[in-house]
């Protein structure tokens, strides 16, 4: 087949309507994602994905507000650091600091909108683009390993799995981002109570704005829970 005829086919495969999953699959993937988030043995390795999206959120917003992105580091304890250069205060720095804890939930909300519109393949493509962008900016070995392993899993599903499995995987990703975006906010506040998070995003925002750190923790939680509720309505209601 000639390239001129395959290009529209590829475009249609990615952006056209995909296989519509049954309601039971939507519920099962939601339950599976919730179990991964709630059960510590499953949450610990899976949290690396949330960290990747968290740091990608910092990096993307930093670039959008005109800061210079220097690099991203992902650590084995599932923490991460994004370094950008620019004005150390002002709206750009506030938005950059704000982006991390809301990025997974907002991305999950976006994926829910795509899935509600029956665009499963677009979710997979966006995940691939996100992972590639993070991989380019990662500056430590563990970070590279974490992104590559996640990318290989994504590739295996998108390349070898049938449409039904790909759809279930896309729903699982969306639900995991939505549920997984909430739990780190509670973990953050527990660390803050113990005095172990003095350089957290919430405390940086407190220094930048004068509003207390607890206000920003509450803001993270409201945004994340709001995204979860809206996405759940899109995915579960007829």
- Tokens 């991203």 -> residue: 72
* pLDDT attached to residue 17: 52
Q: What is the C-alpha separation between 59 and 182, in angstroms, rounded?
A: 20
pLDDT over 90 for what percent of the chain? 81
Q: Average pLDDT for residues 34-56, to the nearest whole number? A: 97
Per-residue pLDDT averaged across 146-165, rounded?
A: 93
For residue 112, what pLDDT is reported? 97
Name which residue leads in pLDDT, 163 or 105: 105
pLDDT band at 18 (very low <50, low <70, confident <90, very high): low
CB atoms within 10 A of CB 168: 19
Cα 139 to Cα 69, 93, 101, 114, distances in angstroms: 12, 21, 21, 32
Q: What does the pLDDT average to over 107-136? A: 95
Of the CA atoms within 13 Å of residue 57, those in its CB half-sphere come to 24
Average pLDDT, integer, range 169-189? 97
User: In this model, does residue 213 exceed pLDDT 60?
Assistant: yes
Question: Which stretch of 15-19, 138-142, 154-158, 223-227 has the lowest confidence by average pLDDT?
Answer: 15-19
Residue 15 has pLDDT above 60, yes or no: no
Query: Whole-angstrom Cα distance, residue 13 to residue 44?
Result: 35
Mean pLDDT score of the chain: 91
Alpha-carbon distance of 156 to 148, in angstroms, equals: 12
């Amino acid at each position: 087949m000639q390239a001129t005829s395959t290009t529209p086919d590829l475009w249609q495969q990615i952006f056209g309507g995909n296989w519509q999953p049954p309601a039971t699959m939507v519920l099962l993937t939601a339950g599976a994602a919730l179990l991964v988030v709630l059960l510590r043995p499953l949450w610990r390795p899976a949290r690396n994905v949330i960290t990747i999206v968290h740091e990608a959120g910092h990096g993307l917003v930093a670039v959008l507000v005109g800061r210079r992105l220097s690099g991203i580091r992902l650590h084995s304890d599932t923490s991460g650091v994004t370094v950008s250069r620019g004005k150390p205060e002002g709206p750009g720095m506030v938005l950059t600091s704000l982006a991390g804890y809301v990025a997974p939930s907002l991305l999950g909300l976006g994926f829910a909108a795509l899935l509600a519109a029956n665009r499963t393949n677009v979710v997979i493509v966006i995940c691939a683009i996100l992972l590639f962008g993070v991989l380019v900016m990662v500056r430590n070995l563990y970070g590279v390993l974490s992104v590559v392993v996640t990318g290989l899993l994504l590739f295996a599903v998108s390349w070898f799995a049938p449409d039904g499995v790909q759809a279930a995987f896309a729903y699982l990703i969306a639900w995991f981002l939505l549920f997984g975006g909430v739990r780190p906010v509670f973990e953050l506040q527990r660390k803050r109570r113990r005095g172990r998070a003095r350089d957290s995003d919430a405390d940086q925002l407190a220094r930048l704005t004068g509003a207390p750190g607890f206000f920003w923790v509450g803001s993270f939680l409201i945004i994340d829970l709001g995204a979860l509720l809206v996405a759940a309505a899109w995915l579960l209601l007829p």
